[in-house]
Structure 1
């Protein structure tokens, strides 16, 4: 049965919040990854990559807020410490001295990682009848799939 945020039981809210905070951590780390690469990309593809990386980090900044606000809407605490995000995230920081193709590859893999995390979040939310979190996870997953595709296209 579909539920509003306030109708979720404490166990359901805690499980959903854990998955949301995982997605949040990976989004935070990937936001910084894209910004780092935006600042430091060089080479013949500087212009388009500089712009693409900016598009990604600007989108992800908004995505962080959406995920954190959903955690709060279900009555849980959104993790806000960078150290916690870095520790929790399956996405790792990137090397600002990397070549452009390595930046693209690393950022593409980050998009795929977040996409998989969001798919898991969607399943958890669906199991608990939390259609709003499920919808958020699906929509954010589409965004990350698109960015992964765009980045992958640069490597072909």
Structure 2
């Protein structure tokens, strides 16, 4: 058996790595979604949305790296092909022709999807005693919920 940073059964390692790779895929697709919207947003709210979308994709770029590095710390393969990530992700890419409100809604839904995926990955890690993965999932999930709230607030009122 391969030595890892933590002692987990091989099936647990596989399941946790798979859940993390799901989180990476959704984060990568959402990173590109936010960058696409950053480039293409128009309208009276251009300035604040342009800045918010940039804040999101910059955060997510770091987050996807943290998640993928955790996969590697578990001595598993981190998915690196965009085609594989697009196939796996529950978040779908967009063409950037949406209205500003549609961009906000789509990005909000993407953030909620990632937060839910991370919550599931964190619960799985906790079940197997992998507190480091659980902690990372909680931290990243909290970030995605915050971005979902910020985006949702743009659509209210």
Query: Is this a same-fold pair by TM over 0.5?
Result: yes
Q: Cα RMSD between the aligned structures? A: 0.9
> Hey, what does 2:117 align to over in structure 1?
117
SS in 2 for 1:6: coil
Q: What is the Cα deviation at residue 6 of structure 1?
A: 3.3
Q: Which runs of 4+ in 1 moved over 4 A?
A: none
Partners of 1:21 and 1:100 in 2: CA distance: 30
1:45 aligned onto 2:22: no
Q: What is the Cα deviation at residue 12 of structure 1?
A: 1.1
Tell me, yes or no, if the aligned pair for 1:115 and 1:144 is still in contact at 8 Å. Answer: yes
Partners of 2:140 and 2:5 in 1: CA distance: 19
> Hey, what does 1:79 align to over in structure 2?
79
Partners of 1:139 and 1:153 in 2: CA distance: 21
Tell me, yes or no, if the aligned pair for 1:8 and 1:74 is still in contact at 8 Å. Answer: no
Structure 2: 5+ residue stretches without partners: none
Matches within 5 A, 1:16-31: 16-31=16-31
TM-score, length-scaled by structure 2 = 0.96
Equivalent pairs counted in the alignment come to 153
> Hey, what does 1:57 align to over in structure 2?
57
> Hey, what does 2:133 align to over in structure 1?
133
Partners of 1:5 and 1:26 in 2: CA distance: 25
